[in-house]
Amino acid sequence: MQTSSPAQAIFIDGPDATAFAHGQFTSQVATLPVGQWQFSSWLDAQGRIRHLFHLARLSDERLLVFLRGGEATHFVDALRRFVFRSRVKLQIAEGMKLRTGDALPVHIVDTQDDIIRLGCGSHSLQLGVDIAHDDAWQLAQLHTGWPWLSNTTLNEFLPPSLSLHRLGAVALDKGCYPGQEIVARLHYRGGNKRHLHRVKLSREVSDGVELRRGDREFVRLLTVISHNNSIEALAVITDETANNIAQSAENTSDDGVSVTLLESWQD
């Protein structure tokens, strides 16, 4: 799995910061307390995930958006078109790096000495300018089923495909936001047939690769990590294909990559 350094993050500042974010993003931003973070996402009009991120409330009028994939400049440029008369300022967090920190309860935000810590349970994510970058957090988050979207997988998935309801990233009991009608229809009427899985691969491939079998998609990989002579990945797989893989009915792609299911998450 490759991440970019510096970390891709922005600040949303101003008296309308919370209201603006609540109207654009999929989570319950309005009820997010100061000193906590939540998973959230920003969708297009068709309900596809443009960006997935940690949304932290640092103060009454300041939010931090830490992107789980994608570029902060692209995110800010697109989001600015929706500001209109809202009293908010969008600012890229320049020069931020990312490292693994000590354990901190999930959703807790702690700021000390210009370092922002996001609690992830067994560890924390630390964002700051004067720190050394590391990727030690990646395996723990893969095992927890926290997806990271490479540039090739942005604007592709609907929230249920990444099991975002499980992460609290999608609210069904709030006002409209981009893509909200699609999200509600999928939840209440069904229709989603793809979900998130943790898999083992027979050989290493790149993040975001689409494995094919026959003339159709077989497994859509997100993050791929090699560790202890094993290769694991998060992947989006149709329910039918996942069932076949589980029964060893079809578990090898056209280019010879064998896939074993290790864990599955469904809403």
Burial class (CB in 10 A: 0-12, 13-18, 19+), 25: buried
Q: What is the largest CA-CA distance in the chain?
A: 56
For residue 4, name the pLDDT band (cuts at 50, 70, 90): very low
Task: Give the model confidence (pLDDT) of 128-148 as tens digits.
Answer: 999 999 999 999 999 999 999
Q: Is there a domain that residue 136 lies in?
A: yes
* Token pair belonging to 261: 């299911």
The domain boundary, picked from 146, 165, 187, lies at 187
User: Alpha carbon of 57 to those of 39, 60, 89, 177: distances in Å?
Assistant: 12, 7, 15, 19
239: domain CATH number is 2.40.30
Is residue 234 predicted with pLDDT exceeding 70?
A: yes
User: Alpha carbon of 265 to those of 131, 163, 164, 222, 252: distances in Å?
Assistant: 34, 6, 10, 14, 21
Length of the chain equals: 267
Is residue 124 predicted with pLDDT exceeding 80?
A: yes
For residue 174, name the pLDDT band (cuts at 50, 70, 90): confident
Q: Is there a domain that residue 2 lies in?
A: no
Task: Give the model confidence (pLDDT) of 90-99 as tens digits.
Answer: 999 999 999 9
The domain boundary, picked from 159, 187, 215, lies at 187
Average pLDDT, the chain: 94
What range defines the domain where residue 229 resides?
Answer: 193-265
Q: What is the pLDDT of residue 207?
A: 93
CA neighbor of 59 nearest in space, from 36, 87, 75, 86: 36
Task: Give the model confidence (pLDDT) of 237-264 as tens digits.
Answer: 999 999 999 998 889 999 999 999 999 9
Q: Provide, rounded to the nearest whole percent, the portion of the chain with pLDDT above 70.
A: 97
Q: What is the pLDDT of residue 2?
A: 53
237, amino acid identity: I
